[in-house]
Amino acid sequence: MPLGAMAEQAEEPRTLTAHFQDVPVPEYKSRWNACWEEEWTPWDRGGYSPALFDLLSEKPELFSLPSPDVRKSALIPGCGRGHDVLLLSSFGFDAYGMDISPRATAEARKHAEEATTQGLYEPRTARRGATTLLTGDFFKDEALVAAGAPTKFDLIFDYTFFCALPPSVRPAWARRTADLLAPDGRLVCLEFPSEKDPAEPGPPWAAPPHAYMAYLSAPGEAVATDERGGVLRGQPGPSRDDGLKRLLHVKPRRTHDAGAKDGGVQDCISVWSH
């Protein structure tokens, strides 16, 4: 191989797609943990979601927010360093951040301590919610039970979790999410990457708005896809009693840089209920 070609090959950027290529789902835990051990976390945004902050601040009528007399719980699966866990705690939620990587949980606890010392995430309500950071499998009860967590949550926030799951796992994601959502609870999805070609491998896998609609309308069921692996548009909306209903679907005015392009927001944010 010519030296120039060797240099070009050596300089190819590392990607999550390559890191997970041909890896069976049961081995994902060790792969994600390896990323944290190597301090290679390209999905970490370095701060809380501005889209979530704006949603809670500007549309409180969509939520039954905590008050000094009423405690509310929130779950953030795949929480990483816990930026959004701390944000939801500042809004008064008793926030539970879960990650499958033990190293991620350690980093989240370190970040929480630093944030407290630096006075970050000041309470936006009369009472700051409790913060619990735990290692566990989202699809199993063990970690939540061990932490004394609720069996149902008033708010679930999904960002870079749905897109980290192979399409084959998404029916189970929808089923588990619906089961964990309290009867009057709200699921908030910051949809990313909403404009990725579904034929391209992940993670992150493509997460267009109609994919969320298809899976959450019929939790646990496989959905129809085209020859490129993309979820077909126009599949029926909620018709089952256990299907989640979409209350809001908008492009946020602010989001992380990863969800914007050429000065325009690509992410969408959606709110769901039973």
The encoded tokens of residue 92 equal 């008064």
Find tokens 């976390």 and name the residue.
Answer: 41
224: domain CATH number? Answer: 3.40.50.150
Q: How far apart are CA 80 and CA 36, in angstroms?
A: 9
Determine the pLDDT at residue 28: 92
Q: How far apart are CA 272 and CA 96, in angstroms?
A: 19
- Evaluate whether residue 158 is within a structural domain: yes
- Evaluate whether residue 42 is within a structural domain: no
Q: How far is CA 30 from CA 6, 36, 88, 136, in A?
A: 30, 10, 28, 13
Overall number of domains in the chain = 1
- Evaluate whether residue 78 is within a structural domain: yes
Q: How far is CA 206 from CA 92, 135, 170, in A?
A: 32, 26, 12
Q: What is the DSSP string of the chain?
A: --HHHHHHHHTPPP-HHHHTTT--GGGHHHHHHHHHHTT--TT--SS--HHHHHHHHH-GGGS---BTTB--EEEEET-TT-HHHHHHHHTT-EEEEEES-HHHHHHHHHHHHHHHHHT-S--SSSSPPPEEEEE--TTSSHHHHHTT--SSEEEEEEESSGGGS-GGGHHHHHHHHHHHEEEEEEEEEEETTTTS-TTS--SSPP--HHHHHHHHHSTT----B-TTSPBPTT---S-STT--EEEEEE--S---GGGEETTEE--EEEEEE-
The encoded tokens of residue 191 equal 């949809």
- Evaluate whether residue 108 is within a structural domain: yes
Determine the pLDDT at residue 237: 60
Residue 260 structural domain: 48-61+71-273
Q: pLDDT by residue for the chain (274 residues), tens digit each?
A: 565 555 555 566 889 999 999 899 999 999 999 999 999 999 999 999 999 999 999 999 999 899 988 999 999 999 999 999 999 999 999 999 999 999 999 999 999 999 988 888 999 888 899 999 999 999 999 999 999 999 999 999 999 999 999 999 999 999 999 999 999 999 999 999 999 998 899 999 999 999 999 999 999 999 988 887 788 887 666 567 889 999 999 999 999 999 999 989 999 999 999 9
Q: How far apart are CA 108 and CA 97, in angstroms?
A: 9
Determine the pLDDT at residue 224: 87
- Evaluate whether residue 40 is within a structural domain: no
Whether the model pTM is above 0.95:
no
- Evaluate whether residue 238 is within a structural domain: yes
Determine the pLDDT at residue 119: 83
- Evaluate whether residue 27 is within a structural domain: no
Determine the pLDDT at residue 2: 60
Closest CA to 270 of 203, 186, 206: 186
Q: What is the DSSP string of 35-64?
A: HHHTT--TT--SS--HHHHHHHHH-GGGS-
CB 173 within 8 A of CB 144: no
- Parallel, antiparallel or unpaired: strands 153-159 and 260-261: unpaired
- Evaluate whether residue 135 is within a structural domain: yes
